[in-house]
Structure 1
Amino acid sequence: MKKLLFVTVFAGSLAALAATLYMMLTIDRGSLGASVGSPPASASERIVVISQEQGSYVMNEMQKGAREAAAIHGMRIDFSGAYRSNVGELLKQIDIAIASKVDGIIVEGVDRPDFARMVNKATEKGIPVITINSDAPGSLRKTYIGSDHYQEGILMGRHLAETLGGEGIVGVVTNADSSDTDQLRLRGLREALRTYPDVRLVFAAADAAKQQAGVQTDDMLNRHPGVAAFIGLPADSGKRIVAAADSRSKRSSRRVFMFDGSPQTEELIRSGAVQAGLSQHYEDMGKMSVDLLKRWLDGDRLPLSPSYFTPISVVTAAEAKEGAP
């Protein structure tokens, strides 16, 4: 009886040991398979694009390119930002992205210490930041993608001077809150006009300069009746400039130039109300920013260059009509 009991216990122990060994081998094989296999879909990289002006033509175009590139790379992408160039709201959106532990941030840059600190905070958390359309070179951003705004000023300045035959007073319509982009464009504009001493730039008085484009145009016409042309820095300000200039005299030959290539500006160019605009390829910026962020996350062909400039070109009536649907 005792012998039978011993055999039964011994056989049960062997069976339990065999079952344990089988489970251990199964788990090891499963772990090995997970380490060398493809990651689950839930592990895809998540990035966010943050803009200074949500819903604008510029941002819509950049989002289109970014969305297309993210789909190609299998990345999840979100969009957020401010609606009226509110830097405080922009910083808040970056902070939210950091707290959400996204894998990467693409953002329109602002060359200010508080913006640089927020970018640096993301970098310290291991989140790479790329600036797009406008830069923040004093921050730890990985690279900048967009137009060379200084070269925009040079390109438009030369075209403007040649159109005017090398002489004339040009009224500059500015943004109420002058941005780094504006300053770079103005630097380029002044540089280009150094070889045209008979072309002179004028600006609205201090109080008027804080107002919208039409008020600035009126002020310059009051103080400089001989203005031969206007050039607008604010996007989509062409209609207001044209309306203010026409209200004085439709028979005048004042020309209008824009640092903008939106559909509204192109329509004004086709109608002859605006002489030229500037094409900046925003969709390409969006696509390239996601491509380069993916390169950084993959550790592929690093380091990135400090900046990647997208093409710029002057848009005249001929180009606007050719590109019309």
Structure 2
Amino acid sequence: MKKLLLVTVFAGSLAALAVTLYLMLTVDRAGLDASVGTPGAADEASERIVVISQEQGSYVMNELRKGAREAAAIHGMLIDFSGAYRSNVEELLKQIDIAIASKVDGIIVEGVDRPDFARMVNKATEKGIPVITINSDAPGSLRKTYIGSDHYQEGILMGRYLAEALDGEGIAGVVMNADSSDTDQLRLRGLREALRAQPDVRLVFAAGEAAKQQAGMQTDDMLNRYPGVDAFIGLPADSGKSIVEAADSRSKRNPRRVFMFDDSPQTEELIRSGAVQAGLSQHYEDMGKMSVDLLQRWLDSDRLPLSASYFTPISVVTAAEAKEAAP
């Protein structure tokens, strides 16, 4: 009787284990299909591409994914998304290397203008894997093309708008990314070029250790050293709230105008409320769609060569535009 009971329990355990394994495999497969997000995900003949970002989970990446996923579905491509967190270049390079080892058909990646990044892109190219940079470029690499905003022209546009808002006279504090990215440098070149004709508009920056800190600390440092600062320009995405809070903590009676280089939901809300005067619209979803379309063109050998770059539109977002775009 005991022997029969043991056999029954053992058989029941095996059955439960089999069901568990089946459910795990089913869930894993469903998760994979959801990650690629295209019809026919099980079709091994489909071309496989990967989009790799510098900052997973950010507003920018989420918008890029929307456009890329939509275009991949139209082309019947399998698409996956990976990347680094908090702009970790070493992790970004690791993700590219993984994609190369996986023998994907194409890579779309946010570029970094560094020799080690160029070497990784060149490695992919030597393996026959085309690489397209998106949102930020690596012009010294063998990437096939760049899709995104012209960051130098962003600086020009913002510089002209700033000069007009200040009536051609004042001090503007520039809040930088802690790592002072290539994108920042291009925007600054544009800002300075636009303000060459405005000698009474002066740009100032945080100094020393404060320059390596987050937006609020940089704002405090500039307020300490330049009490008469009239405005702030924020280069880091989503830094508007920190800049506004730091500026308001000094004097709400003498508000400083704030201008941003992004149009994230947080920035748009600050624009609608009047805390931020203007931002720049970057059209990230269009970047994602265009990058997949152009990668498909390359894979199909259609209308080649590609242009060295494809610039997406940029425009100033003010309270009127932000309110109109509100759901």
Please say whether Structure 1 and Structure 2 have the same fold, judged by a TM-score greater than 0.5: yes
The partner residue of 2:313 within 300, 311, 318 is: 311
Q: One-letter code of the match for 2:98?
A: I
Which of 212, 215, 220 aligns to 2:214? It is 212
Aligned to 1:19: none
TM-score (norm 2): 0.87
Aligned partner of 1:67 in structure 2 is: 69
**Residue 254 of structure 1: how far off its partner (Å):** 1.1
- Identify the residue that residue 189 of structure 1 maps to in structure 2: 191
Written as runs of structure 1 = structure 2, the 5 A alignment for 1:135-214 is 135-214=137-216
Q: Is the 8 A contact 2:234 2:240 kept in 1?
A: yes
Tell me what 2:8 maps to. none
Report 1:33-182 matches (<5 A): 41-182=43-184
1:252 is the counterpart of 2:254: yes
Q: What one-letter code is carried by the residue in structure 1 that aligns with 2:215?
A: A
Q: Output the amino acid matched with 1:129.
A: V
Indicate the residue corresponding to 2:11 in structure 1.
none
Q: Which has the larger radius of gyration?
A: 1
The alpha-carbon deviation at position 83 of structure 1 amounts to: 1.1
Deviation at 1:69, TM superposition (A): 0.1
Q: Cα deviation per residue 1:129-169 (whole Å; 9 max; x = unaligned)?
A: 00000000000000000000000000001001100100000
TM-score normalised by L of structure 1: 0.87
Superposed, 1:223-242 pairs within 5 Å as 223-242=225-244
DSSP-derived class of the 1:227 partner: coil
Q: List alignment gaps of at least 5 residues for structure 1.
A: 1-39
Show CA shifts across 1:74-115 (max 9, x none): 000000000110000000000000000000000000000000
Check conservation: 2:118, 2:141, Cα contact below 8 A. yes
For each residue in 1:42-77, what CA deviation from the matched residue of structure 2 results, as whole angstroms up to 9, or x when unmatched? 211000000000000000000000000000000000
In structure 2, the residue corresponding to 1:214 is in which secondary structure?
A: helix
> What secondary structure is seen at the aligned counterpart in 1 of 2:173?
strand
| One-letter amino acid of the structure 2 residue matched with residue 152 of structure 1 | E
Query: Residue type of the partner of 1:163?
Result: A
Distance in 2 (CA, whole Å) between partners of 1:175 and 1:42 is 42
Query: What are the equivalent positions in structure 2 for 1:4-43 lying under 5 Å apart?
Result: 41-43=43-45
Q: Which runs of 5+ in 2 are unaligned?
A: 1-41
User: Does the Cα contact within 8 Å between 2:248 and 2:255 map onto a contact in 1?
Assistant: no
SS in 1 for 2:233: strand
Aligned residues: 286
SS in structure 2 opposite 1:257?
Answer: strand
**1-structure distance, mates of 2:205, 2:130:** 40
> Structure 2 CA distance, aligned partners of 1:79 and 1:304?
24
User: How far apart are the structure 1 equivalents of 2:231 and 2:322?
Assistant: 20
Shift of 1:253: 3.3
Structure 1: how far apart are the matches of 2:120 and 2:276? 40
